[in-house]
Amino acid sequence: MLLEIPGVLDGRALARVHELLEQARFVDGRLSAGLAARRVKHNQEVDGSASELAELNQLVMGGLVRHPRFKSAVLPLRVATPFYARYGSEMNYGDHVDDPVMGAPGSQYRSDVSATVFLSAPEAYEGGELVINTAFGAHGVKLAAGAAVVYPSSSLHHVNPVTAGERLVAVTWIQSMIRSPEQRELLDGLNLAREKMLRDAPDAEETRRVDVAYVNLVRMWSEV
């Protein structure tokens, strides 16, 4: 599933995020990359020891993990601390697949879903599209500031070169309760129908049946 989620961050949160990023120290993004990605990664990231990270995470990740579409589509079990990346002129990130297992020993997690939260308005930079290869071809993504896109971490993807301006994003990875992307997509569609039925006809027999089916499919398929 490739899903665009608008409104993860509102204008007030975005303004504060930009204030914090202006104060933060950035380092070479290759420092956090694996051996394969290091060859094609050309960006900068907020230093992992930066004092601004705690508030940035509270704003950005708080907005993401609370969003109902994120919760329904991803069914998160573990959500990684994000990286805050900056792409200036001619910076890019070539074709790569995200590492299957991430995190330090003792706190490792499987990367099922990748998420990018866009922090710059699309008119603030030229180029810089996130291009995700899908079964239906390459899909370019360049969203409004405060929106996010989630997609399978197994997807080959890249960031086109920025030719002018500055691209700011937050990137994170999620281990889902549901390992199979096909099962996650089925559950998301069923849950959207279920929630509408619970709002419109909470006492109907059909609503009860759909609710029971959804809950027990999550129980059957989850890895917790």
pLDDT tens digits for 204-220?
999 999 999 999 999 99
Which pair of structure tokens corresponds to residue 112? 């099922």
**3-176 placed in CATH 2.130.10.10:** no
pTM greater than 0.85: yes
pLDDT tens for 59-104 read: 999 999 999 999 999 999 999 999 999 999 999 999 999 999 998 8
What is the average pLDDT across 8-17? 98
DSSP symbols for 98-161: --SEESSTTS-EE--EEEEEE-S-GGGEEE--EEEEETTEEEEE-PPTT-EEEEETTS-EEEPP
Residue 75 has which token pair?
Answer: 């069914």
Strand-pair partners of 87: 167
Please write the tens of the pLDDT for every residue from 148-184: 999 999 999 999 999 999 999 999 999 999 999 999 9
Q: What is the mean pLDDT of residues 47-65?
A: 97
Tokens of 12: 């007030």
Instruction: Write down the domain spans for the chain.
Output: 3-176, 181-221
